[in-house]
Each structure stands twice: as structure tokens, then as C-alpha cells.
Amino acid sequence: MDLTKNNYRHLVIRTTQNLLVILLLLFVFAACSNDDEIEQPFIKTEAAVMTFTEINNCTFPGNVQGTTYLTRIKYQSSKGTEISKILIDNEWSDGVKDSWESTNFTAANGELHFSSCFEFENTDWIKTGYTLVSKDGLKSNPSIATINKPNGAK
């Protein structure tokens, strides 16, 4: 009879040890969560919203008049990502293209604001593409808008 009590005691001890090991493993796996993963840096933009309030109110060299557009781009970015410049690609309906960059904007609360002067001349529309660039060189998807020539715009 002592043999049965001894076997029973060993069975209880081993079962208790196994349960403790399982509980310890569950605790360790529960502590490892997706919060520990490093967020990949990103910048994601929505379509640019462009509005004008008055036509022919800005001037290019040679006294050529243009129309000022106020632009707003909503964006999301990873924590700590700071926008440092905007890459701008324009294409006029007559096929003329140009590209440039700007650091003249304000960015706050997931919105970027700036103004641009456009000269339409003999074109009907301008397609613009804006790519936001962080201080680390990370680029957003292009934010694209097409603006039609307002009546009376030069």
C-alpha cells in the first residue's frame, strides 16, 4: 500500500510541475504582443484639395499674371515623422511639364497647407502631383489633383 501512496504523490508532484511550466509559458507568450513590434515609418496622403478666391492675383517675372491656389493635403504618418519638403510635378493640358520642390508650407494635425501661383495661358487644365518627403527622406504616395482653368484666368 505504501507503493500506491508513493506513486500517487509523485503523480501529483509531476502534474503540479507540468501545470506550473504551462502557466509560465502562457505568461511569457502573453507578455509578447504586437505592441513590442517596431512601427515601420510611413507617410500616406489623401487627394489634394485646391481652391482659389481670386483670379489673376499673382505675378510671374515679366509681369505675367497667374492665379493663386490654396492647397490642403490631409496625411497620416508614423510617430515622429516630420515633413521637410514637397516634391511638385505639374502637367498642363498642352503637354508642358515641370517639377520643383518647396519648403514653404505649414503642417499641423495631419494637414499640410500652402499656396501656389499657376499661369494657364492657352491650356484648359493643370494636373498636379504632390509627394511629401520627411527629414529622413521617406516619401509619401503622390497626392494628385487636376485643376480646370477658371473663367477669365490668364
The reply to whether 55 and 104 lie within a common domain is yes
Domain total in the chain: 2
The model's confidence at residue 5, banded by pLDDT at 50, 70 and 90, is low
The reply to whether 21 and 49 lie within a common domain is no
What is the CB neighbour count within 10 angstroms for residue 128?
20
Buried b (16+ CB within 10 A) or exposed e, 17-53: eeeeeeeeeeeeeeeeeeeeeeeeeebebeebebebe
Domain with 25, as residue range(s), is 2-35
* Cα–Cα distance measured from residue 50 to residue 46, given in angstroms and rounded to the nearest whole number: 12
Average pLDDT, the chain: 87
* Cα–Cα distance measured from residue 15 to residue 12, given in angstroms and rounded to the nearest whole number: 5
User: Looking at the domain assignment, is residue 125 inside a domain?
Assistant: yes
The reported pLDDT for the residue numbered 23 is 73
The model's confidence at residue 39, banded by pLDDT at 50, 70 and 90, is confident
**For residues 86-103, average pLDDT:** 96
The model's confidence at residue 95, banded by pLDDT at 50, 70 and 90, is very high
User: Looking at the domain assignment, is residue 154 inside a domain?
Assistant: no
The reported pLDDT for the residue numbered 36 is 56
